Amino acid sequence: MPTVAVVTTGGTIASRRDEDGVSRPVVTGPDLLATGAERAATEVRVTDVLSKDSSCMTFADMDRVCEAIAAELRDPTVAGVVVLHGTDTMEETAFLVDLHHADPRPVVFTGAQRTFDHPESDAQANLTAALSAATDSAMRGRGVLISFGGKLHPVPGVRKADTTALDAFRSVRTPMHRHRPEPLPWRPISGVRVDVVAIYPGTDRVQFDACRSAGAHGVVLDALGSGNANPGIVEAVRECVAAGVPVAVSTRVPYGSISPTYGGGGGGSDLVAAGALFSTDLRAGQARILLAALLADPDLTGLEKEFDRRSRIEL
C-alpha cells in the first residue's frame, strides 16, 4: 500500500460541537483517520502540527505547516501529503505551500464544512478523496491541490465562495492543467507584515495610513471592479510606493481577471501610474501571501516582475 503523510492543523474537520452548539477543534489525527484511511486503502502516518480554527492562523502558523510538509517529503517512501485544514484560510496556507513546493509528489489540502460529529458530516468523504488524490500518479507535478466536495482545485486563484455548501471552493480562472513557475526558495514569512485595505464608495486614506504607521512592509488593495479605487487612494499609493512599501491591487469581484484599464483619477490605470502592482488572477488573500513571500526573500530582485508573473494563471 502507498504511504501518505497526513498533517493536521485543526479546523472544522477536527471539531466537535459542545453542549452550546459551539464547534471547537479537539479531534486528533488518529481519530480522524480511523475510517477514511481504510476506505482509501492507504497506509497513513499522522503528524499533528496545530489544533486551531483556521480563522486564527498566523504567518508563523503557516510557516510551521510548510516546514512540516517539507519534513514529510524528505522521506522517499511517502507517496504524497494530505493536509487537514480549516476552510476559512485554507486558500492562503495552501498557496504559500504551492509557492515553495518543488517536489513532484502531490500535496492535497482538505477540510470540512460540517464538524466531525455532525450526523451528515462531509469530513470522511473529503478525507477519503484527498487520500486518493495524494496517491494518484496523474497528480504528480501539478503542485498543491485542494480536494473538497468531490472537486479538485489547483490552488492559485481558488477561494472559499460559500459558507455552507459542501463544495465550498471555486476557482477565479483556473484550468486543471496550468503552467507552474519555478518554486521560490524557502523563506519564512512570519516576520513580514502585509495588510489588506478594503475599497468601497467613499473610502478615504485612514486605513492606508494606519497600515503604514503600524509598520506594514506591503499593502494589498481589495479594490472595486477590474481594480479601481479613487483619487485619494491613488495619492496614498503613490506616497507608499515612494517610501519603499509596495502596493498590490486585487478586487472584491469573485471571478475573472483584472487589468488597469480605467482612468478618471482613481482607476486601475491611475493606480499603476502611482506605482501599484496588479494581481491579475489572485484575490486579496492569496495576493497578500504572494507579496509576503516575495518580500521575505532578501536576495530577490525584480519584485514587480515576479509579482506580475506569479499572480497570473497561465495555461
**CA-to-CA distance for 311 and 309, rounded, in angstroms?**
6
**CA-to-CA distance for 290 and 301, rounded, in angstroms?**
15
The closest of 70, 212, 236 to 62, measured between CA atoms, is 70
Contacts of 313 (CB under 8 A, 6+ apart): 156, 157, 172, 173, 174, 175, 178, 280, 281
The grid cell for 233 is 487612494
Where b means 16+ CB within 10 Å and e means fewer, 73-110 reads beeeebbbbbbbbbbbbbbbbbbbbbbbbebebbbbbb
Catalytic hit among 12, 42, 87, 110: 12
Which H, E and C letters describe 147-189, residue by residue?
A: EECCEEEECCCEEECCCCCCCCEEECCCCCCCCCCCCCCCCCC
The closest of 93, 79, 98 to 8, measured between CA atoms, is 93
Burial of residue 253 (number of CB atoms within 10 Å: 0-12, 13-18, 19+): middle
Catalytic residue flag (residue 12) = yes
3-state helix, strand, coil in the chain (%, to 5): 35, 20, 45
**CA-to-CA distance for 224 and 249, rounded, in angstroms?**
10
Which DSSP helix (H) or strand (E) runs through 31? helix 29-40
Residue 33 is given by DSSP the state: H
The grid cell for 290 is 504572494
Q: Which residues are catalytic?
A: 12
